[in-house]
Amino acid sequence: MRIMRNAFLVTVTAAALAAGVIAVSAQGAGGDQGGMRQGRGGGAHTQAVAPRQGGGGGAGAMTHRGGGGREAAAARQRGGGAAVRHGRTGGGRQTLAGRHREQSAAARRGARTVASRRGGGRTAMQRETRRAQTARSHGRTAARTERRAGRTATTERRAGRTATTQRRAGRTATTQRRAATSVTSQRGTQREARRQATRVSVSSQQRTRIRQVVVSRHLVSRLRVRHVNFAVRVGVVVPRTIRLFVVPQEIVVIVPRFRHFRCFIFDGELIIVDPVTFVIVAVIPI
C-alpha cells in the first residue's frame, strides 16, 4: 500500500510539475489557471481513489490528500511565481530595451537635428558672409569706377581748359600778327611819307615870297609854338600833342602842293607837316 501511495504521490508531483511548466510557457494568468485546474483534478482523483482502498486506508488517504494538496499548492505557487517573475522580468527587460532603443533613436534624431541646425546656421552665416563680401566687392568696384570717372572728367576739363587756352593763345597770336602788320604798314607809310617829303622841294624864289607873306600878314604871332620836345628837321614825326595850323591860302598859292597841309612857326622857321603822317616835309627860314 505504501508503495502505491508513493507512486501516486510521484504521479501527482509530476502532474504538478507539468502544470508549472505549462504555466511558465503560458507566461501569466493562463499558467496560474492551468495549475489551479491541475491541483483540483489531483485532489478529486485522490478523493476518488481513497474510497476504493477501504476503511483502513482512510487516514492514509486523508494524509495523502493533505500532503498532495500542499505540494500541489506549493508547486502552483512556485510555477506561478516563476511565471510571474519570468513575465515581469522579460517584460521589464523588453520595456527597458525598447526605452533604451527609443532614447537612443531620440538622441540620434536630436543630434541630427542639432547638426542640421548647426549646418543650416553655418550655411546661412556663409551665405551672409558671401553676400557681404559681394556687396563690399561691388562697392569697391563702384568706388573705383566713380574715381576713374572723376579722373576722366578732370582730365577732360583740363583738356578743355588747355584747348581754350590754346584758342586764346591763337587769338592773341593773330592779334599780335595783325598788330605787327599794322606797325609794319605804318612804318611803310612813314617811310613812303618820308620819301615824299624828301621829294618836296621849295626853290629859293618860293622861299623869298613865303617869307614876305609871313612878315606882311603878321603870321608869326598866329602860327607860333613856343616849346617842342623833338628835333625840328625834315622826316621827323611831330607828336599829336603839338598844336598845328592850316597852311594859309597865300602860301598855298606860292606852293600848291602845300594844300591841306599843316604848319607852325618855331624859332624863326616855318615848319610844314603832312596832315596824314604828321611828318615834317619842309623847313623854311623866315
Output the tens digit of pLDDT for each of the chain's 286 residues. 556 666 777 777 777 787 776 766 665 444 444 444 444 444 434 333 333 443 443 433 333 444 455 655 555 656 555 544 555 555 556 677 777 888 888 888 887 877 677 766 677 888 888 888 888 888 888 888 888 888 888 888 898 888 888 888 888 888 888 888 877 777 777 666 555 555 578 999 999 999 999 999 999 999 999 999 999 999 999 999 999 999 999 999 999 999 999 999 999 999 999 999 999 999 999 8
pLDDT at 26: 62
pLDDT at 39: 41
Q: Determine the Cα–Cα distance for residues 262 and 251; give it in Å rounded to an integer.
A: 11
pLDDT at 222: 92
CA angle 144, 149, 155 (to 5 degrees): 125
Residues sharing a CB contact under 8 Å with residue 43, sequence separation 6 or more, in sequence order: 65, 68, 69, 72
pLDDT at 269: 94
pLDDT at 65: 45
Conformational region of residue 274, where left means phi above 0, alpha means psi within -120 to 50, and beta covers everything else: beta
The residues facing 270 across adjacent strands are 265, 284
Domain ranges of the chain: 2-112, 200-285
Residues sharing a CB contact under 8 Å with residue 207, sequence separation 6 or more, in sequence order: 284, 285
C-alpha cell at 179: 598788330
Q: Determine the Cα–Cα distance for residues 265 and 155; give it in Å rounded to an integer.
A: 68
Q: Determine the Cα–Cα distance for residues 100 and 111; give it in Å rounded to an integer.
A: 16
pLDDT at 259: 93
pLDDT at 190: 66
Q: Are strands 245-246 and 262-266 parallel, antiparallel or unpaired?
A: antiparallel
Contact 283, 234 (CB under 8 A): yes
Among 271, 212, 268, residue whose Cα is nearest residue 242: 271
Residues 168-206: tens digit of each pLDDT: 888 888 888 888 887 777 777 766 655 555 557 899 999
pLDDT at 90: 53
Residues 97-135: tens digit of each pLDDT: 777 888 888 888 887 877 677 766 677 888 888 888 888
pLDDT at 280: 94
CATH of domain 200-285: 3.10.450
C-alpha cell at 265: 612857326
Q: Determine the Cα–Cα distance for residues 207 and 215; give it in Å rounded to an integer.
A: 12
